Every structure is written in C-alpha cells, then in structure tokens.
Chains A and B, each alone.
Chain A
Amino acid sequence: MDRKQVLLDYVASYPDHQLSLLVASTTGSGIMSSSTAFTVATVDTGHEDMIHDAQMDFLGTKLATCSCDKTVRVFDVNINHGSQTFVAELKGHEGPVWQVAWAHPRYDTLLASCSYDRKVIIWKETTEIKPDGKKVVKWDASFVYEGHDSSVNSVCWAPPEWGLMLACGSSDSSITVLSYVNDRWVASKIPNAHTLGCNAVSWAPAQAPSFDKTNEVQPVKRFASGGCDNLVKIWREENDQWLEEVKLEGHSDWVRDVAWSPAAGLTRMKIASSSQDRRVIIWTNKESDGISWTPEPLHVFDDVVWHVSWNFVGDVLAVSGGDNQVSLWKKRETDSWECISDSSKSCIQNEQRTL
C-alpha cells in the first residue's frame, strides 16, 4: 500500500517560527522526502507562565488564553492578516487557570474559565461608550461558582440549542452542570463521576441522533467525560437528572482529554479520548443509540497524549502529545486512521517513527 505521510518538522530555534514540511512517503522500504516551507501565525500572549489553554470563539475573531500565572487574557485576532490586539487581562482566579470556553455568540459574549483554585468564573464582556464616543470594552466576572472542593480541570459549553449550560469537571471527582434558568445560574451536581477526579468534559452536538421510520427522535442532551479512573463516561439528561448512560473502558491510565466530534449533521456519533497510557481511542456509536460504542485504537504514541480536538466537520482529528508533537489524523476510505501530518521539534524522532 502506498502510504503517504506528511511530517512537519518544527524547528524551535528559528526565530521566525518557520515550519518545514517533510513529505515522506513510505513505499516498501525506501523513504523519499521533499520539503517545502511555510510559516505559522503566532500570537505572543504575554503570559508570564505556562499557557494551559487557548480558545478561539465561534467567529474566529476573539482568542482567550489562560495560564499558570492565574490570569486569562483576551485578544482580538485576525489570523489571516496576522494581526492581534490585546483586549483585557481577566484577574480573579487564585491559582493556575486550566481551561477557558467561549459561549455561543447567540448569547452575550461570555467566557468561562476554571482553575486550580476550585472556582469556575463566567466572564462577561460589556461595551461602554465614553462621552467622546469611544468604545471601551470591559470584562467582568458575572458569576463565580465555588461549589467544587478541588481543582476544576475542564469547562465546556453545551450546544446553544440547550440554552446557556456549562459542564465543569473537577479533581474532587464530581461534575457540575451549570445552567442559566430564569436569570439565575443553577448547579446540578454529579457526585463521584470519576474516582480520583475528572479531567475533561465535552458535549455532544445537539442533533437528532438517528432517523428511523418515525423520522423524529427526541433530541437528547449528552456529554462525555474522562477521568483518573481510566474511564470515559457518557451522561444523559433525563427528568432534569444526569444519568450515567454508558461507561467506556479501554484506557489503562488516566484519561486526559475527550472530544465529541462536532460532526455537522452526521448520524454516527464519535468521541475521541486520549490518555496517559499514550493511546488515543476513537469511540463510534454506529447504531446511534448512545449505548453500543465500538472502540477503535488510533495510535500508540511515544508519550502521554494531552489533547485531542476535531475540526469543525469532525473528519480530521488533531492530537497533541507529551513529545510536543501535533499530529493530524484522518480516516481514509480503507477505514483506517492515517496520520497526515505531524509537527515536532525533533526531526530524528520523526524519521524513526515513519520506518
């Protein structure tokens, strides 16, 4: 089989952040390679310590980053033109901020952040017009949730169809779903969701999960979570209660991230999970019943796999690993997952990998 592999060799020492693209196609035993160069847009966030998360909003015009330095920073960005403007630094957390999440723009400009300090803060942007006609953008904490007993590791907004709803996963082993009802934030807690802690939450897209003869299925609110019990769990809302719908066993160490495929309009549900056990598993639900999930191992990496993220249509998966590599995976017609590109700082490791 002619397997084409595109490798990205990212050389950190280059000041202009140049990426060289190595195309290595392994046909039989030989490796052919050619190389082209292109640049990566970079944003200097000005954080003083490790960045833990960076999220673009729905329209791709705002970037929020959060860091170990306890702050969240908001930028106006235009990636295509390479411009970025610092807008605000949001201070309120007292520990490293792990993750940020933008609410859908159909609501106000809302940003959720979660931190080691056990808090979840929902920040709101307000625009104030000064007497001289200048617009001043202000960010304030509009709600602080302090119901967790330990570090809150992950926040994720529900699809906008469900209203303003936020899932928060914490090291205290619980998950909270905050929803905005009658101008108030209401918390619904799932105790003991993951023993030793929950590391990631991700919502299922709002869609009719299947079409059958009746052609009309009640939409179901679902989300997936991953935790230190090595499990991925799927939760479903029923009568205002969150029930554990299914428990996916497949990882042998902490689950670090879960990502529900956004899959615009696809009937087949898909979840990617990554783990400390160096593996990424794609879980598919072919029956669209939410219960029978088939695991499909994507790849065993060289190091812990931190994050997985789908593209907007859910056919390419980006994976970031402990070896500082970003690799992109796409399912081919042959039904096998193939690495289509790979970024790393070490060229040698990559070449070894392709063999």
Chain B
Amino acid sequence: MVMDLQWSPVLTDQLLAWSQEILLYQTEECEPLPTKLRPGCIRVSNRKALTVVAKLSDYPFPKVIDAYPGTDGEGMIALGLANGKVILSTFGTTVVSKEFVPKHTRQVNSLQWNRANPNFLAVGLDKARSDFAVSIWDVSLGSKYVNGYHSDVLRPKIELGISETANSVAWVQARSLLVGMNGKHIKLFDLRDSQPKLSSTATTKAVYGICVDNVCAHRVASFAENQVFVWDTRNFEKPFLILNHSKHVSKLGWCPTRAGLLACLEKDSSSLTLHDVNHAVMSTEEGEPAVLERRLTPAYPNELELADSTTVLSSFAWHPTEEHLITTATFNGVIWSSFVYERLTLNWSPTSILGWSDGKRTINFIDNTDDIYTSLDDISVKMKLRAKNGYGLKAQLRDNGNIVADDEDLKNLWTWLDFCKSLTEKEKHHLPSISTVTFPGAQTVLKMESNNGGGVTSTIKSEIINNSSFDLRNSKTYRSEERSFVQQLCGWSVESIHDLQGTPTRKAAIALFHLKLRLAIKILNESDNSIVAMAIAGFSDDQNSLWRELALAKFNQLSDPYIRAIFAFLTEADSNYETILHESELTVADRLGFACSFLPDAKLISFVQEISNDMIKKGNLYGILLTGMTPQSIPLLQRYLNLTADVQSVAVLAIRTMASDIASSAILKLWIERYRDLLDSWKLWDERAEFDILKNRNNPALIPQPEVTVSCNFCGKSISAPGVPGIGRSTQIFSRFITTDVKLKQTSCCPSCRKPLPRCSICLLHMGTILGSGTEQPVVDMYKIGACPEALSWYTWCQTCRHGGHTVHLQQWFRTQAECPVSGCTCKCINLDRVLEFPS
C-alpha cells in the first residue's frame, strides 16, 4: 500500500513513499521489459527500477511529509502527525533529531518547507482555542538538528491565525505564505517584516491543497470538493479559472519543469487529469478561457499483474527536474512512472529532413541517409540521386535508362524511346502518319482520331491475307504499312526471332503468331520446353479432335502466360482472340503486336483505344507504346505522377521528347517548374542549368534576353552592340556591321555618343585599349583559376565602389593592397570579393 509519495527535491533519483512506514527508494537503470528484475527491485518504467534504501517505521500513517529542500539536509524529512507533532528526521538513524510540539494537541493538516529559504518550515494545524493555526519554524535557530537528542523544543519563529483552522499552507517564493483558512478564505501573508502582514484575501471554499506554480509564481491552484480553482495572486479577489470535475478532487500538483500544467487527481479514479492553463486568456469578455484538458492513464505493462488501467490511484508526484516525468501510486502499492508529453512539433523540410522536438531544448532530425528513411521509399531521395547522376540529361536517351536501372518500367521506357526515335527516323518518309512526330505511339501510327461523339475513328485500310497454304489452318491476317510499323515498335520482327528479348516461350509464341508453327516447335524444343513442343506438335485443326478437347480443358492451368497464349491461339475457334488480347500477363507490346496481325481494322482500333484507356487509368508507362510521346500521353503521365510522385521522370520526358508541346501545355510547364524547384532546393544548380539548356535547346524563344549590359556614362546606351544582342546576332544579315567583342576591345569610346569610356584606375588608359605586351605578366597562371588569357585585358570593377580597371592590373594591385586603387576610395574591394582570391 502507498498513501502518498514525493520525489526528493535534492537527490532527484530518490523517491519517498509512505503509508504505515516511510520508504526511501533509489532509482536505477534496468533492463527493459520483458526482462524480469531481481527480487527487491520494483520496476517503475521500461528502463527504471526502484530499490528500497532506507525505511522509517516509527511513525505509521503520517498525515503529511515534506522532504527538506536544502542541500545540507542529508535526506532530512519533516513529518506532520495526527497529534500535531512535527518531526524532523533523517533516514539511516532511528533517533529523532528534532520535534516541534504545539501547545494543544490537534492534527497537522499541512506542512511545507520553503524552497527558496530551506530553513523555514510552515505548518498548518487544525483549530485550537487560543492557539495559532499556522506556525513557522526556523530550523537553523537553536542547536544543530542532527544532534542525536530528542525533544529539542523551540518556539516557532512566526505564528499566525489565532483560534483558526489552517486547511493548507503553501510558500510563495521566499517570504510570502498562502494559507487556506477555516474553509472560507485563502490568505496571503507577507512575512518580510518581523510582523507578518496580510496582503490579500480571497473568499472561497477552495482552501485545500494550495499549490504554487514554481515556474510562474503568481499562479496558484486550490480545490474544494469537485472544483479546482486557479488564482492569480496579483488579482486575488476572484479566481482566474474554475475547473469542474465529476468527482471530488484529492490532490493537485503543478508541473515543476514547465509553466501552467496542473495535474489533478480525483478520488476513486484510475487516471490523472492534466490542465494546461497557459492558453487561458485573462479576459472577461471573450467567454470561457481555453484550457486544454488531457487525461493520463498509466500504461502498465502486462507483466505487472497488480495493476491495470482501471486500478484506482492513491497519489502522484511530479519529478522535480526530469521533464514530463510524473510518478503515480495505487492503493495496492504499485508505483509507476509516466511521461506527460508536450505538443510535439514536427516539420518535414523541402530537403527531405524530418525534424521533431524532443523536450525543451532538443530537436531531432532524420534525413535520407538514415535507414529508417530508406524504408519510407521516399521518391524524392531516389530523384535526388538520379538527378546527381544526370538523369534525363544524357545525350543518348538509352543512357538515361541506365540511371534508373532500379526501376524496370522506366528503364524500358527510355530504351524504347531511343529505339522508337531511330525507327521513326528511318521510316518517316514512307509513312505519312508519323512524318511530323518524333515519338509516335500506336494511336498516332494508326491515324486514330477522336470524333465528336467521343468515339475513335481511323482512316487506315488494311490488306486481308488468307493464309490458306499454311500448315496451321485457315486464318486471316491483316497487313498494312501502319500495322507493320506498330509491330516494329512492339519489338516484333520475324526475321530475327532469335534476337528477341525474353524467354524462349515468348519467342515461340511470337513465331507462332507469325504463323510459323515449325519454328515455334523448334524454339521450344531447344529450350527445356520439349514437352510443350510435343504437345503443340500434335496440333489438330479438327474442331472435334481429342487434342483440342484436352488442350481447351487444360491450358488455363499452365503457369507460363506465353504457353497459355500458344494454346489459346491454336484452339481459337472464332477469330476473336479474346483470351490472348486480354491475357494480362502478356506484355502490352505483345498483345498489341498480335492485334496488329489478327484483328480487322475496326476491331484493332477499338482494341487500341480500350487498352490505352486501361493503361492511362493505371498510369502504366508501357502505355506510352500506344500514346507515344504526344499530348495524348499527358493524362497517362499525370496518372503515373499521381501514383508515384515522380515529377522528375515526367519533367525530363517532357523536355526530351515533347519539347514542341511545352509551350502549349500548362501541365508540362508545371511539371518542369516543379522539377526545377526540386533541383533548386537540393542545391543542384549545375543540374538545373543543364536541364534548362536542354529545355531551351529546341525552343530559342525561351532563352532569356541578356540581363546585364554595360552602358555609357554619358548617353546611357549600351556600349556593347547597337543591334539585337544575344543569340540572334550571328543570324543577322548585317552581322558584320555589328560591333563584336574583338572590335569592342579596340574601341575606347561609346559607339553611340563617341564619348570616352572609363579609364583603368591603374594605367589610366581608357577601357577597350589593347594592353601593351611585355610589361604586364600575369601574376598567376590564369588557367589554374579557370579564366582564359583574354580575360586579363578585360575591364573589371568592384561591385561595391564601382571603381575598376584592367583585370591584370587590378590583380597586380590587390596582390599587395587591400584598398581600392582609386585615390580617396577606402573600399576594401579584395576582401569583399573572395572569388578573385589568388591561390598562394
């Protein structure tokens, strides 16, 4: 059984708990659950355990106890007894060190050491006629308290409230005392003078359990029955807050490590109520002040058999220094420590760093180098790595695929784009439908166009071939330039079946779809599928043959989708080929290739449309085969983006394959902008610049105008070129009349007003003058610092004082000087511009 408990204010790893005897516990680290602890060790949390270090059995069931807060007390405690005696005692000795006895016997209701001045002990007693209710003792007076002798009775230093009851006492800082009196008032006494002065009184029934918020000393709480009152001692007439509880309150306690958090225990309750009064607004007009209320139920482990979440608590104690720690006790003696957590801030930075606060001072961070972050599979981490490797910037489309080799879909897409581009280059002159497209998909090749009714039409005309001479059976195939181009896009080519990618069964299936049964059997035979080969060899076109019956019954059970497709093809009766076209385990390319051979025009178009819609819905990148990199692919890529958040891939695909569409598509622009933002936030500025270069390569209109020009001091016009500056220059017809850089160097006056250009502050020659050779040797090898030799004769100037001269002259000057060469200018140019720092 535990009646009450208190953490030692000095030795903060010691806990006092008392009922019929007073126990002093020592905290120690322990093995986490579910490790069993050695006997005598009581677990109070996952990592902490208590052991009894001392015991005091002389005073059973003390009314109140307060541990001495001074550092010289050697674990001294003050006990208030039912007979009015106050005992000062230490552990380790059974001898009473000091005893304060009132004149009249009555119960001690409350006692408290003064935390600011540990010599003072305030004691609140029950009523006695012509005796005081409050006595304040000064333990430093008289003999030393641990003298081994008993009954060293002294007079109290101060006495208050004659013939009154003190329900509770509490110190406010060093020299003020709050006393709950007679069940009617809380009085605040000023004890600075030798004569105590009543400074203010609050009339209230809430005179019990007065406690002062140590962090914010004018805030005081007290209770009566089921109400908790919070007071501001500066404005003591009326309570600052009244907090109603459903049951009677038995104990209050302010959190000692944080302002405004009040713990409150109700009678017969298994949980504590925590009131956060910080947000309460001191105002009458704004309605009820906002008080956050939380309940804390100790989370006992299952191993603790004596207590669960319904066990009634007897008391609690805040830890004086450790943040958030509150220890609770139950009537059946279980002590358990819980943490009261603060609002935990949490922010995810644009640079993939997740930070959250841990207590008062510390912020924790995890970033993408942590294992836990890897387990998140955060695409931004992948994107950053890919960006660093130059994803999307490689000249060969195929090479970009190698950077995303960990994502097979993306890798295949880049490989296919490369293939598609070269194939289209080769064929675009034969096929009008792809003559303007770089990356056509099946939809483009087959000239599919949406009509107004939402359907799709196409103008392709295909040749029907009846393969009657074939050893398989009669089957119609269709052929057109467009169809065979689509098949090539699908990677189908009957001439080189052996070079095809994939398993032997895929090769066999494709051979068969080219109506080469013998070749298919041969391929299967050469791989370890000879049993299948044998089964196929027994093919019979007879609708009622035993082979067909058996094959139809069994082929669905085969695991290899291509063997299933082979049997589906051979047993197909009505040329609809639904089983093959909707075999989801076959690649889109193979299904499309098949459809191009065996479906009539109308069916082919609707099949392509159907499968495109399906791919778009799934955001499946293989759907690009159908849409090509045309505006039709945008919904598909958007869906892919929505699913994967991989804005990088869609942005680089946009600039690499849809450059001409960017200008007209807000979505493409958006992707590109978002990706540029990403690169910027990762400080991958070089990559961002390269990305911009690629983006603008096919679109000179996007290239920004020159941003900086040197203008003449006199007329304000640019001295560089009267014509159109920038990229257009070389294409101008009159380019030879325009001042080039070479000519500029020889010009020492403004081309507009013919006034001289500024002088070099060292050689006093005008800007644009050719430097004489021989005298000006470069001070450093300019190649080392990445500059070209011509740069030496260029005019340069300080960004701050705007004085300047020839680079080589300034270099020589600042080699020994820190100040500007212009007389009277005190600008420390070279210190301001560390970029020009010379290697030593």
Contact = CB atoms under 8 A, between A and B. Distances in A.
Interface of A: 6, 8, 11-13, 17, 19, 21, 36, 38, 40-60, 63, 65, 67-68, 79-80, 96, 116, 129, 131-133, 150-151, 171, 196-197, 207-208, 211, 215-217, 228, 262-268, 303-304, 306-316, 318-324, 326, 328, 330, 340-341, 345-349
A318 B354 contact: yes
B665 A215 contact: yes
B276 to A, nearest CB: 11
* Residue from B32, B349, B664, B681 with most neighbouring chain A CB atoms (10 Å): B349
A56 B355 contact: yes
Given A63-B363, A312-B678, A345-B339, A326 B372 contact: no
* Residue from A67, A268, A307 having most chain B Cβ neighbours under 10 A: A307
A63 B378 CA distance: 22
A47 B638 contact: no
Contacts of B286: 150
B351 A59 contact: yes
Contacts of B651: 265
A312 B831 contact: no
Contact of A197 (B290, B350, B670): B290
Given A51-B357, A53-B345, A311-B376, 10 more contacts: A21-B372, A43-B363, A44-B362, A59-B681, A207-B670, A211-B638, A217-B666, A264-B675, A266-B645, A348-B302
Given A19-B372, A150-B281, A207-B674, A40 B365 contact: yes
B681 A58 contact: yes
A41 B634 CA distance: 41
A312 B380 contact: yes
B645 A320 contact: no
B349 to A, nearest CB: 3
Interface in B322-369: 339, 341-367, 369
Contacts, number: 255
A133 B831 contact: yes
Given A41-B365, A265-B671, A306-B346, A313 B380 contact: yes
Given A58-B681, A265-B641, A315-B379, A51 B666 contact: no
A217 B666 CA distance: 8
Given A80-B369, A207-B674, A326 B46 contact: no
Contacts of A47: 360-361
B366 A40 contact: yes
A340 B375 contact: yes
Query: In the complex, which of the residues B302, B339, B356 has the most CB atoms of chain A within 10 Å of its own CB atom?
Result: B356
Instruction: Enumerate the 9 nearest inter-chain pairs by beta-carbon distance, A residue then B residue, closest first.
Output: A60-B351, A133-B831, A56-B349, A324-B341, A313-B645, A320-B346, A320-B344, A264-B674, A307-B346
Interface string B97-140: 00000000000000000000000000000000000000000000
Interface in B292-334: 294, 299, 301-302
B218 to A, nearest CB: 15
A43 B294 CA distance: 29
Contacts of A56: 347, 349-351, 353, 355
A326 B380 CA distance: 20
Contacts of A11: 32, 46-47
A348 B301 contact: yes
B378 A316 contact: yes
A7 to B, nearest CB: 10
B356 A349 contact: no
Nearest to A46: B361
B666 A216 contact: yes
B22 interface: no
A50 B360 contact: yes
B828 A131 contact: yes
Contacts of B299: 346, 348-349
**Which of B343, B370, B380, B671 has most A Cβ within 10 Å?**
B343
Nearest to A132: B831
B647 interface: yes
A49 B259 contact: yes
A264 B645 contact: yes
A341 B375 contact: yes
Contacts of A262: 350
B363 A346 contact: no
Contact of B363 (A42, A116, A330, A345): A42
B371 interface: yes
Contact of B367 (A79, A151, A326): A79
Which of B351, B363, B383, B641 gathers the greatest number of chain A CB atoms within 10 Å? B363
A265 B372 contact: no
Contacts of A41: 364-367
Contacts of A67: 360
A325 to B, nearest CB: 8
A12 B360 CA distance: 13
Given A42-B365, A306-B343, A49 B351 contact: no
B675 A52 contact: no
Given A313-B647, A328-B376, A348-B301, A215 B344 contact: no
Given A58-B681, A303-B294, A51 B279 contact: no
Contact of B370 (A38, A65, A330): A38
B348 A310 contact: yes
B98 to A, nearest CB: 38
Nearest to B355: A54
A19 B359 CA distance: 16
Given A56-B351, A313-B645, A313-B647, A321 B33 contact: no
Contacts of B678: 264, 312
Contact of A13 (B47, B375, B645, B671): B47
B642 A54 contact: no
B667 interface: yes
Interface string B253-294: 000001100000000000000000011010000110010001
Contacts of B665: 211, 215
Contacts of B279: 116, 151, 171
8 contacts: A11-B47, A49-B360, A51-B359, A171-B279, A197-B290, A265-B647, A267-B642, A310-B348
A306 B372 contact: no
A347 B680 CA distance: 40
A58 B360 CA distance: 25
B372 A8 contact: yes
Nearest to A49: B360
Among B301, B348, B351, residue most surrounded by chain A Cβ atoms (within 10 Å) = B348
| Residue among A52, A313, A314, A349 with most chain B CB within 10 A | A313
Nearest to A313: B645
Nearest to B348: A309
B371 A228 contact: no
Contacts of B666: 208, 211, 215-217
Contacts of A48: 360
B392 to A, nearest CB: 15
Contacts of B357: 51-52, 54
B645 A263 contact: yes
Nearest to A160: B677
B817 to A, nearest CB: 13
A21 B366 CA distance: 13
A46 B363 CA distance: 10
B291 to A, nearest CB: 12
Given A307-B346, A312-B352, A320-B356, A21 B677 contact: no
Contact of A133 (B350, B363, B670, B828): B828
Contact of B349 (A6, A50, A60, A341): A60
Contacts of B671: 265
B280 to A, nearest CB: 11
Interface in B807-840: 818, 828, 831-832
Contacts of B667: 208, 211, 215, 267
Given A41-B364, A45-B362, A341-B376, A348 B647 contact: no
Contacts of A307: 343-347
Contacts of A345: 339
A309 B681 CA distance: 18
Nearest to A341: B372
